[in-house]
Homo-oligomer: A and B are copies of this chain.
Amino acid sequence: MADVFRALDDETRRLILDELVARNGQTLFEICGVLVSRHGVSSTRQAISQHLAVLEEAGLVVTERRGRSKFHYFDGGPLTAITRRWPATGRDPS
Chain A residues proximal to chain B, CB less than 8 Å: 2, 5-6, 8-11, 14, 17-18, 21, 24-25, 62, 64, 71, 73-77, 79-80, 82-83, 85-94
Hey, which chain B residues are within 8 Å of A87, CB to CB? Answer: 21, 76
Hey, which chain B residues are within 8 Å of A76, CB to CB? Answer: 83, 86-91
Which residue of the partner chain, among B14, B21, B25, B88, contacts A93 with CB atoms under 8 Å? B25
A25–B14 alpha-carbon span in the complex (Å): 32
Pairwise interchain contact A62-B8, C-beta atoms closer than 8 A: no
Q: How far is the CB of A38 from chain B (nearest CB, A)?
A: 16
A3–B63 alpha-carbon span in the complex (Å): 29
Pairwise interchain contact A62-B91, C-beta atoms closer than 8 A: yes
Contacts A/B (CB < 8 Å), 11 sampled: A5-B10, A5-B14, A14-B85, A24-B94, A25-B94, A62-B91, A73-B93, A75-B90, A77-B89, A80-B88, A82-B83
